Amino acid sequence: MNKARVKLRSTNPEKVDSVAADVIETAEKYNADVAGPIPLPTETLTIPTLRSPDGEGKNTWEQWQMRVHKRIVDVSDSERALRQIMRVHVPEGVNIEVEIIE
């Protein structure tokens, strides 16, 4: 049986959770089986930068971090549910990817 895997990514965990809740609510409205949201490990991107770019003074570094929060929601392959999931409002800053898995 086929199923759709919805992958969500964002730097804001509240936005990811709200979109995941909307996807689950929409899928359950059309009687599709839902598994998730499954939280994946948070991806941490660290960028070290030199505080004084001209080289004068102490060699002190700052570290900037960006955390990417990820969730997966599996939905049974119900055509009506998938069409409605495609219409879910996705706020700016949230990436959504839907793929069909056999």
Residue-level pLDDT at 1:
62
Q: Which fold has domain 3-42+68-101?
A: Alpha-Beta Plaits (3.30.70)
| Mean pLDDT, residues 37-66 taken together | 85
**Predicted TM-score (pTM) of this structure:** 0.75
Tell me: the pLDDT tens digits for 69-95? 999 998 887 778 788 878 888 888 888
Residue-level pLDDT at 67:
92
Ordered by start, the domain boundaries in the chain are: 3-42+68-101
Which residues, in sequence order, are bridge partners of residue 38? 72
Type and span of the H or E element at 20? helix 13-29
In this structure, are residues 58 and 30 in contact, taking their beta carbons and an 8 Å threshold? no
Q: CA torsion, points 82, 86, 87, 92, in degrees to nearest 10?
A: 150
Residue-level pLDDT at 9:
93
In terms of Cα–Cα distance, which of 47, 43, 36, 34 is closest to 13?
Answer: 43
